Amino acid sequence: MESYCGIVTATPKSILVVGGGIVGLTSAWRLAREGYRVSVVDPAPGRGATWAAAGMIAPHAEVAPGEGANFELQRQALSAWQLLSNELAAVVERRIEIGVTGTVLTGWDAGDRRLVEQFRLVATGFGVNSALARRESHPEIFAGLSDRISSGLLLDGDAWLDPDEAVSVLCQGLTTVGVEFITQKVHTIEGDRSGVRVHFDAGSQSADVGILATGAFGLPHGATPTGEHAVRPVRGMTVRIDGIDRSNAPTLRCFVRGRPFYMVSRPGGYCVIGASSEERSGPLIEVGELQRLLRDALDVVPEIETSTLLETRVGLRPASTNLEPFLEVWPERRWAWSSGHFRHGVTLAPLTSRDVVGFVNEMTK
Ligand SMILES: Cc1cc2nc3c(=O)[nH]c(=O)nc-3n(C[C@H](O)[C@H](O)[C@H](O)COP(=O)(O)OP(=O)(O)OC[C@H]3O[C@@H](n4cnc5c(N)ncnc54)[C@H](O)[C@@H]3O)c2cc1C
216, 172, 211: which is closest to 52 by C-alpha? 216
According to DSSP, the β-strands at 270-274 and 231-242 are antiparallel
Residue count of the chain: 365
Which of the four pLDDT bands, split at 50, 70 and 90, describes residue 73?
very high
Instruction: Provide CATH code, domain 2-96+163-230+321-364.
Output: 3.50.50.60
Of 63-67, 75-79, 91-95, 141-145, the range with the lowest mean pLDDT is 63-67
pLDDT in tens, 301-325: 999 999 999 999 999 999 999 999 9
User: CA-CA distance, 169 to 214, in Å (whole number)?
Assistant: 20
Residue 248 has pLDDT above 80, yes or no: yes
Q: What is the mean pLDDT of the chain?
A: 94
Q: Is the peptide bond before 223 cis (omega within 30 degrees of 0)?
A: no
pTM value surpassing 0.85:
yes
Q: Which residue has its alpha carbon closest to ligand 1 atom 18?
A: 345
pLDDT of residue 1: 39
User: What is the position in ligand 1's atom list of the atom closest to the CA of 274?
Assistant: 1
Pocket lining for ligand 1, CB < 6 angstroms: 18-24, 41-45, 47-50, 52-56, 185-186, 213-217, 220, 236, 238, 274-275, 315, 317-318, 339, 341-347
User: What is the position in ligand 1's atom list of the atom closest to the CA of 313?
Assistant: 1
pLDDT of residue 281: 80
User: CA-CA distance, 56 to 62, in Å (whole number)?
Assistant: 10
pLDDT of residue 10: 53
Extents of the domains making up the chain: 2-96+163-230+321-364, 103-156+233-320
Class of CATH domain 103-156+233-320: alpha beta
Residue 11 has pLDDT above 70, yes or no: no
- For 6, 75, 263, the CA distances from 304, given in Å and listed in that order, are 46, 32, 11
Residue 2, classified by CB atoms within 10 Å of its CB into exposed (0-12), middle (13-18) or buried (19+), is exposed
pLDDT of residue 188: 98
pLDDT in tens, 143-193: 999 999 999 999 999 999 999 999 999 999 999 999 999 999 999 999 999
Q: Which residue has its alpha carbon closest to ligand 1 atom 45?
A: 19
Which of the four pLDDT bands, split at 50, 70 and 90, describes residue 276?
confident
Radius of gyration over alpha carbons of the chain, in Å?
21
